[in-house]
Amino acid sequence: MEETPNQEVKKKHFYRRPRYRKKPSEGYENTRRTPKKISIVIPLFNEEESLQPLSNDIKRVCELNKIEFDVIFVDDGSTDTSLKVLRELNKSDRRFKYVSFQKNYGKSAALQVGFKHVTGEYVVTMDADLQDDPTEIPNLLNKLDEGFDLVSGWKKKRYDPFIKRVSSKFFNYVTGLMSGIKIHDFNCGLKAYKRVVIDKIRVYGELHRYMPVLADWQGYSVSEIPVQHHPRRYGKTKFGISRFFKGFIDLVTVIFVTRYIKRPMHLFGFLGALAFLIGIIVNGYLSYEWIMGQPLSNRPMLLFGILLVIVGVQFFSVGLLGELMVHNSQNDTEYTVKEVNK
């Protein structure tokens, strides 16, 4: 039967859970159970105009699809009237909760603090600037229901300035290459997680760009679905071009964090030992020649050997220091919360 465009639209907005899902131990099971509650975490920094329409959209989509939800807005030290809007939103509907920072700590900090207050079994993150579309929430949840632990949005058609689109492509390509994760859009604000994932991952600095990498490293399954994207309606972007340089420095951090954080000696110890060994061989050879009567004054190789030995010892020491820090770093970073309402 031919579908009219109208039916098509209706279908898209309907939250369809799979009828049957196989669990390894239980065989086929009818999964027509109550849908899982979701918590939506929204970091925001000076987005006063967008908050009301965004909340309306979320409410409409979730109620239409019978999704039980709450929203945790994290006001990242806004200097406009965002906090006032959040207070009003909370007053009129208690499902819209908020945390407000004393100062601007950055998106990762906002997400991390937001994650502390989630109550749902599934957690969705999205930007506050109306660029992410709440109608995608049911689709993300469906994908989680398929068994994935993290589902990332893929802004297949992006409404961002040209320079940002190009550099973002490059960034995603390199991140995919370095991390081995096959998704197109690491930095999409719209993502859905199973609760266990966010309970496990700590996002600090600007590591929010690498949530899929961090999750994958913890052994969680990562997937993506194409999502609608919109141009920014109000205000302007909070990240300048510097994001890409910082982004790549962060990539080094992530690679290090995911591969070596618990064992820095494996990297530094190995490099240090290698440099030290080559240095010893070089200088041993030169010493042999010196004993055999060759003068060392015209052998630049000597300097190279000494350099390798020193660098080797230094790398080794850095590795040892790293091990000490890993051993002692059990403390969480603290953020000064100005106001909490949950």
Both tokens assigned to 124: 């969705």
In the complex, minimum distance from the CB of residue 314 to ligand UDP, in angstroms, rounded to a whole number: 36
> What is the chain's Cα-based Rg?
26
Q: Which is nearer to ligand UDP, 96 or 148 (CB)?
A: 96
Query: Whose Cβ is closer to ligand UDP: residue 220's or residue 243's?
Result: 243
**CB neighbours of residue 275 within 10 Å:** 20
Q: Which two tokens stand for residue 12?
A: 């898209």
End-to-end CA distance of the chain: 48
Q: Quick one: which of 129, 145, 149, 250 contacts Mg ion (CB under 5 A)?
A: 129
Question: Which residues in this chain contact ligand UDP in the complex, by CB under 6 A?
Answer: 43-45, 47, 76, 104, 106-107, 110, 127-129, 131, 189, 237-239
Query: Nearer Cβ to ligand UDP, position 50 or 223?
Result: 50
- Binding partner of residue 81 among Mg ion, ligand UDP, none, CB cut-off 5 to 8 Å per kind: none
Residue 274: which H helix or E strand, with range? helix 270-291
CB of 233 to Mg ion, least distance (A): 10
Least CB distance to Mg ion at residue 161 (A): 11
Instruction: Choose from Mg ion, ligand UDP, none: what does 85 bind? Cβ within 5-8 Å by kind.
Output: none
- The interface with Mg ion within residues 179-208 (CB under 5 A) comprises none
Q: Which does 141 bind (CB under 5 to 8 A by kind): Mg ion, ligand UDP, none?
A: none
Which of the ranges 21-29, 54-62, 95-103, 121-129 carries the binding residues for Mg ion, by CB under 5 A? Answer: 121-129
Residues 6+ apart with CB under 8 A from 279: 304, 305, 306, 307, 308, 309, 310, 311, 312
Q: How far is the CB of 126 from ligand UDP (least distance, A)?
A: 8
- What SS3 state is found at 154? strand
Tokens read off for 14: 């309907």
Binding of residue 131 to Mg ion (CB under 5 A): yes
Token duo for residue 97: 């909760």
Question: Which residue lies nearer to ligand UDP by CB, 44 or 207?
Answer: 44
Cβ proximity to ligand UDP: between 102 and 237 the closer is 237
User: x/- site string to Mg ion, residues 136 to 175, per CB under 5 A?
Assistant: ----------------------------------------
Report the nearest approach of Mg ion to the CB of residue 335 (Å). 22
State the maximum Cα–Cα separation within the chain, in Å, rounded to a whole number.
96
- Minimum Å gap between C-beta 279 and ligand UDP is 46
Long-range contacts of 319-325 (CB under 8 A, 24+ apart): 319/264, 319/265, 319/267, 319/268, 319/269, 319/272, 320/265, 322/264, 322/265, 322/268, 323/263, 323/264, 323/265, 325/264
Q: Report the C-alpha gap between 332 and 52 in whole angstroms.
A: 33
Distance CA 56, CA 135 (A): 12
Nearer residue to Mg ion within complex by CB, 44 or 151: 44
Nearest CA among 240, 252, 250, 106 for reference residue 167: 240
Handedness of CA 170, 172, 176, 178 (dihedral sign): positive
Nearer of residues 188 and 215 to Mg ion, judged by Cβ? 188
Nearest to 18 by CA among 198, 148, 152: 148
* Minimum distance, C-beta of residue 318 to Mg ion, in the bound complex (Å): 38
* Residue 45 contact partner, candidates ligand UDP, Mg ion, none, CB within 5 to 8 A by sort of partner: ligand UDP
Smallest distance from ligand UDP to CB 310, Å? 42
Residues 224 and 147: beta-carbon distance below 8 Å? no
Buried b vs exposed e over 189-200: b needs ≥16 C-beta within 10 Å?
A: bbbbbbbebbee
Picked from Mg ion, ligand UDP, none, the partner binding residue 132 (CB below 5 to 8 A depending on kind) is: none
Which residue, 108 or 139, is less far from ligand UDP as judged by CB? 108
Interacting residue ranges for Mg ion, rule: CB under 5 A? 127, 129, 131
